[in-house]
Amino acid sequence: MQELTDNKVLRLNNEHLVPDGLLPTKFIINDHDFSVSSWSDVLVLSLNYIEKNDLQLFNNLKINRVIFKTDANRFVKPVTLEDGTMIETGFGDQDTLDKIRAILQSTRWNYEIQIEL
């Protein structure tokens, strides 16, 4: 269930769906807060965080050819991570959140995505 706090912030974690038309405003992972303005921001921050904190997992995630493409000409909306790795971010909101969840669930880290209403 989605939790609505008193300050009109919707908190999403493991199984929640993205409410249509709402964008994230804050991404919290292991007590680190990041301001965000899109679901792609959350995806990029997730991967940057994993690369810095669990390089082995990050390298294992690179087998995902939907996000990590091997052909630079196949990107629709590429973004370069802090380590220089290019990823795809041209997904819809729910698809992006599903990818974020799958990635973060493999870490077993605590995370939360907040949406201001």
* Sequence ranges of the domains in the chain: 3-116
**Cα(25)–Cα(34) distance, rounded to whole angstroms?**
9
pLDDT digits (tens, 9 = 90+) for 31-77: 888 999 999 999 999 999 999 999 999 999 999 889 998 888 899 99
Beta partners for 115?
A: 10
Residue labelled with tokens 């991570």: 81
Residue 3 pLDDT more than 70?
no
Note the pTM of the prediction, 2 decimals. Answer: 0.84
